[in-house]
Chains A and B, each alone.
Chain A
Amino acid sequence: MTTEKTLSWTRVRALVRKEVNDFRRNRFIATTMAVLPLLFMIEPVISVFKLPADAPASKLDALVGVSTLELMLIPALIPAVVASYAVVGEREQGTLEPVLTTPIRPAEFLLGKALAAFLPTLVLAYVMYGIFLAAVGVFAHPNIAHDIFEPSRVFAQLLFTPLLAGWSIWAAVAISTRTSDVRVAQQLGSLASLPPVAVVALIGFDVIKPSVTLALGLGAGLLLVDLVAWRLVAAMFHRERLVTGARA
């Protein structure tokens, strides 16, 4: 029962702060956020070290693409796990109703939830990518390091990390507003995060020829989806159904 007018950043900030405090003390989320990024970073480092330095350039490209693809799983999967909790988690623990009786609007609630998943994910994903690059720079064969440090590859990684996270978060939040079980939300959320990863994979495997234009085009598409998704998910947020489980 609200009319969307102005956005209150005070309320959004309050929600983000609460979420981050809560995540830190939620063993499942804390473990997920600590362990999974490490796994997704260690595995490509090992793969890169195993690459034959004398492989033909096209094959090396593909192998490097596969390795770095795993790093893309950090922004794709980690926020999905967290964002799946967004609405259904509050509902399950009985905290949604008290929050909805405050002046917070659905758009603020959802933005706060999304930012709380987005910010730690972004930090983790970039830190892991930084460690990966450092390891490659110090220990990998120069031919392979040269391929990995190729500006278009680094640019794509930096560009797609927040965009993939955005997609993943909004898909998971949307699912979270429609399901009544946290685990179902997490499973569906993880699945929903994969389509853009598939596109990135096709680029990594050279099925789709990578280019700056393609990267920018895809990036713009994902950005548009991320921005529209906020309003779409806000429109799906139905107070009455969430509180009672029924629609009038």
Chain B
Amino acid sequence: MTVERDSAAPRTRDVPTGPAIVVDALTKRFGQRTAFADVTFEVEYGEVFGFLGPNGAGKTTTVRTLGTLLAPSAGTATVAGLPLTEANGVAIRRRIAVMPEQPGLYLRLSVAENLDFFAGLYELDDRRSRIERALRAVNLLDRADDPCRSLSKGLRQRVGLARALLSDPQILFLDEPTSGLDPLAARDVHELIDGLRRRGVTIFLTTHRLAEAEALCDRVGIMNTTLRTIGRPDELRERLFSKTLQLRTAAPLAEPERVLAGLPGVEGWHPSADEACGYVLTVSDPDLAAPAVARAVIGAGADLLALSPSRHSLEDVYLRLIDEDVEAQAR
């Protein structure tokens, strides 16, 4: 399933200039409890920004704050070009759409009635065609007259997405859009988000599904009450993990230090913890080091079985940061 282009999918407005979201030292406290603190980041128009973190990290509270449901305790923010102030609440909500974790549909009403109600709340003209476009965008046009209670959880999520698209928002906040969905339904939602991304819709996506963030997001921020890091997934991998090559030979090298040390681009090495005939080489440039390592190993008379750069996933980045937090709290 994909988001259909042009006539089918809701149109986005002309892309405004400047960042879509600017957050500066934003903090939200509930009494003594800090939901999130000192969070600073920017999201550009047309970007899909992933907001990752464990349960209770402050992701949903951040969305609610940026969505004007909650007032920040400290710090400033600009959302869709407007300062996040009480006076701007209505104006900001006109420019954004928020899809909460639970779609929150009126189950006794039909899909179309649900959307019509929200179209009324946004004071939209040509409601019928907008509803039709939104439903076509999520492939639900044929279910328009079905009561929402008759829909599966995945389909309800799609109705929630259609509702969020109705007003052609400048920024779309999606809070855990695949939470509780089975893999097939989750894949449907991923495809919808990917379609929106290709159309240039600015999306702020909170999730704790790391593969989802890696596949969909241009940049991610990892949150655990404070913003632990932010960047493109590959940047984060590079920032947190040194570049390494994984070497595997048929038999252990007789003198690995003599073979591996001092090769161009190789900064160090150690035996692999997983394999008896494996070695992990820390390198400055894998493209420079790999041919030299291959030549050296073969030159030493060993049988080279595999030589590949190590792949760290976003999950590795996430787990390392969260583990650091857990260790810091334990100390």
Residue of B with least CB distance to A4: B90
> Is B73 a contact of A248 with CB atoms below 8 Å?
yes
A2 to B94 CA separation, bound complex (whole angstroms): 12
Asked if B15 CB lies within 8 Å of chain A CBs, one says no
Shortest distance between the CB of B120 and any CB in chain A (Å): 2
Asked if A141 CB lies within 8 Å of chain B CBs, one says no
The interface centre, meaning the residue of B31, B71, B93, B163 with most chain A CB atoms within 10 A of its CB, is B93
Residues 82-137 of A at the B interface (beta carbon under 8 Å):
93-105
> Is B104 a contact of A11 with CB atoms below 8 Å?
no
Asked if B123 CB lies within 8 Å of chain A CBs, one says yes
Q: List, in ascending order, chain A residues with CB within 8 A of B100's CB.
A: 94, 97-98, 101
> Is A14 a contact of B68 with CB atoms below 8 Å?
no
A26 to B67 CA separation, bound complex (whole angstroms): 31
As a 0/1 sequence over residues 23 to 40 of chain B, the CB contacts with chain A under 8 angstroms (1 = contact) are 000001111000000000
> Is B69 a contact of A243 with CB atoms below 8 Å?
yes
Asked if B98 CB lies within 8 Å of chain A CBs, one says yes
Count residues on chain B whose CB falls below 8 Å from chain A CBs.
44
A11 to B94 CA separation, bound complex (whole angstroms): 13
Asked if A178 CB lies within 8 Å of chain B CBs, one says no
**Looking at the complex, which of A17-25, A158-166, A179-187 is the stretch in contact with chain B?**
A17-25
Shortest distance between the CB of A235 and any CB in chain B (Å): 14
> Is A18 a contact of B113 with CB atoms below 8 Å?
yes
Shortest distance between the CB of A89 and any CB in chain B (Å): 11
Asked if B107 CB lies within 8 Å of chain A CBs, one says yes
> Is A103 a contact of B29 with CB atoms below 8 Å?
no
Q: List, in ascending order, chain B residues with CB within 8 A of A98's CB.
A: 98-100, 103-104, 118, 160, 163
Q: List, in ascending order, chain B residues with CB within 8 A of A102's CB.
A: 93, 118, 121-122
Give the A-B contact count at a CB cut-off of 8 A.
115
A17 to B127 CA separation, bound complex (whole angstroms): 15
Count residues on chain A whose CB falls below 8 Å from chain B CBs.
36
A5 to B89 CA separation, bound complex (whole angstroms): 12
> Is A1 a contact of B89 with CB atoms below 8 Å?
yes
> Is A240 a contact of B104 with CB atoms below 8 Å?
no
CB contact under 8 A between A11 and B120, given known A94-B102, A95-B104, A103-B90:
yes
Asked if A211 CB lies within 8 Å of chain B CBs, one says no
Shortest distance between the CB of B11 and any CB in chain A (Å): 19
Interface residues of B (CB under 8 A from A): 28-31, 61, 64, 67-71, 73, 85-87, 89-91, 93-94, 96-100, 102-109, 113, 116-123, 160, 163
23 A-B contact pairs sorted by A residue (CB < 8 Å): A1-B89, A2-B86, A5-B90, A10-B120, A11-B123, A14-B116, A22-B108, A22-B109, A26-B108, A95-B105, A97-B100, A97-B104, A98-B118, A98-B160, A100-B69, A101-B97, A102-B121, A103-B94, A103-B121, A243-B64, A244-B61, A244-B70, A248-B73
Interface residues of A (CB under 8 A from B): 1-3, 5, 8, 10-11, 13-15, 17-18, 21-22, 25-26, 93-105, 239-240, 243-244, 246-248
